[in-house]
Amino acid sequence: MVLRQLLLIVVLLAGGVGVVVLLQSLPDQVDLMVLVSQAIADLISGIQLLLSAMVGLGVVMLIAALVILGGVLMLGGIWRLVRLLRLLLFPNSLQGRR
């Protein structure tokens, strides 16, 4: 039991030391400021693309709403025209219903 715990401790310590050594050698290989500025630039461009897509979707929804509104208005106008023509062409048939 003790040997197993000692082995686990050695493995964990070796892994931790390996990660620290890797992180210490990382700034020599990669310019951290360039990496951070590139990540921020990518984030800003992603947000711009998202906002642009949302504006485009809003425009499409507005156009669809206007098309539906136009259709409803035309149907309302046609319905009133039919009622007016029926009133003018058949005046006696509507008097009995009222």
Chain segment 23-48, per-residue pLDDT in tens: 888 766 667 778 888 999 999 999 99
> Whose CA is closest to 35, among 47, 43, 46, 24?
43
Inform me whether the pLDDT recorded for 91 exceeds 90. no
Inform me whether the pLDDT recorded for 97 exceeds 60. no
Per-residue confidence band for 90, with pLDDT thresholds at 50, 70 and 90: confident
Q: What angle do CA 61, 67, 73 make, to 5 degrees?
A: 135
Inform me whether the pLDDT recorded for 85 exceeds 80. yes
pTM of the predicted model over 0.85? no
Cβ atoms of residues 94 and 86 within 8 Å: yes
For residue 79, CA distances in Å to 66, 73, 83, 92 come to 20, 10, 6, 20
CA atoms of 49 and 80, how far apart (whole Å) = 47
CA atoms of 74 and 80, how far apart (whole Å) = 10
Rounded percentage of the chain residues whose pLDDT exceeds 90? 67
